[in-house]
Amino acid sequence: MRRALALPGRTVLVTGASSGIGEATARAVAARGATVLLVARRADELDRVRAEIEAAGGRASSYPCDLTDLDAIDTLVAQVLAEHGAVDVLVNNAGRSIRRSLALSYDRFHDVERSMAINFFGPVRLTLGLLPAMREQRLGHVVNVLTWGVQMKAPKFSAYIASKTALDSWSRVAARETWGDNVTFTNMRFSLVRTAMSAPTEAYAGRGASPEQAAARVVRAIERRPPNVNTVAGNIGELLNLVAPRLADRLFHRFDRMFPDSKAARGR
Ligand SMILES: NC(=O)c1ccc[n+]([C@@H]2O[C@H](COP(=O)([O-])OP(=O)(O)OC[C@H]3O[C@@H](n4cnc5c(N)ncnc54)[C@H](OP(=O)(O)O)[C@@H]3O)[C@@H](O)[C@H]2O)c1
């Protein structure tokens, strides 16, 4: 087991820091004495979060960036390394969820492309940019904000779960190569969190953890550096998929029929 990572004095880059889980995580790590680098597209929202962190006595800087633009990520990496040296902790949180059945997706290959762009290619490009300096200083931790769907394989989320699973697998393999340099990864398989992302799905109304509760789990994952953070339900789903895959198919098919596509997914 690796030594715990203490947050005071560390540099933590959080993507998707303009709202939801990322915003709450940025506030939480800043409150623990880390310097937080805020990344997302909406510069005005990043400035709001930065100003609020500074007003509370913390340290933060904003770096507006579209993480689906690979050249923009390279520019971001160069700027961050020039201004801060190595980043100690990277939280790959920015993402996009798409809940849409296959029946509504036959002419929507772009759902797959969009999911991969923000949930896989972007975070991998950013991680590759920041890893050499982490390995050089022999300290680093990467937290990926994923979903329990990678264990469950929940219907209507094929594009989303595939893209999150790609980052999950990539990071597990990378972790085995960087272990000797004291650079570690945590895959967080979150269940439902009440944010702007989950709001359009009527079936989720009022359910799930608060962004602050989710952020507290991210902070714990930074400090303790476990390989995975799972839910009990996710573990049960994963086990069922392993030992009784056809039973799992039947049960999930039933769920699929109970919870139809949202109005947003139908384009209304
Ligand atoms: N909510 C849930 O139930 C739930 C459950 C499991 C996992 N997650 C995961 O949690 C993460 C955070 O989501 P959230 O629930 O907190 O939703 P959210 O409030 O909508 O946050 C999404 C964040 O991602 C950023 N983002 C999206 N596209 C981007 C792009 N192209 N470039 C840069 N930043 C981009 C957004 O910022 P801008 O719009 O300013 O760019 C925003 O800050 C996601 O990866 C999501 O998949 C959420």
Q: pLDDT tens, position by position, for the chain (268 residues)?
A: 457 899 999 999 999 999 999 999 999 999 999 999 999 999 999 999 999 999 999 999 999 999 999 999 999 999 999 999 999 999 999 999 999 999 999 999 999 999 999 999 999 999 999 999 999 999 999 999 999 999 999 999 999 999 999 999 999 999 999 999 999 999 999 999 999 988 877 777 778 999 999 999 999 999 999 999 999 999 999 999 999 999 999 999 999 999 999 888 988 7
pLDDT the model gives residue 200: 77
Total-model pTM: 0.97
The reply to whether ligand 1 has any atom less than 6 angstroms from the CB of 209 is: no
C-alpha 78 to ligand 1 mean position (Å): 23
Contact (Cβ atoms closer than 8 angstroms) between residue 187 and residue 137? no
C-alpha 107 to ligand 1 mean position (Å): 25
Enzyme catalytic residues: 160
pLDDT the model gives residue 206: 77
- Please, how many CA atoms are within 13 Å of residue 239, restricted to the half-sphere of its CB? 7
pLDDT the model gives residue 62: 98
- Alpha-carbon gap, residue 5 to 53, rounded angstroms: 22
The reply to whether ligand 1 has any atom less than 6 angstroms from the CB of 93 is: yes
The reply to whether ligand 1 has any atom less than 6 angstroms from the CB of 41 is: yes
Phi-psi label, residue 238: left if phi above 0, alpha if psi -120 to 50, beta otherwise: alpha
The reply to whether ligand 1 has any atom less than 6 angstroms from the CB of 196 is: yes
Give residue limits of the domains in the chain.
11-258
Task: Domain 11-258: give its CATH architecture.
Answer: 3-Layer(aba) Sandwich (3.40)
- Alpha-carbon gap, residue 189 to 210, rounded angstroms: 15
pLDDT the model gives residue 185: 98
- Alpha-carbon gap, residue 42 to 45, rounded angstroms: 5
C-alpha 197 to ligand 1 mean position (Å): 7
Nearest CA to 217 among 231, 196, 201, 234? 231
C-alpha 247 to ligand 1 mean position (Å): 33
69 CA closest ligand 1 atom index: 31
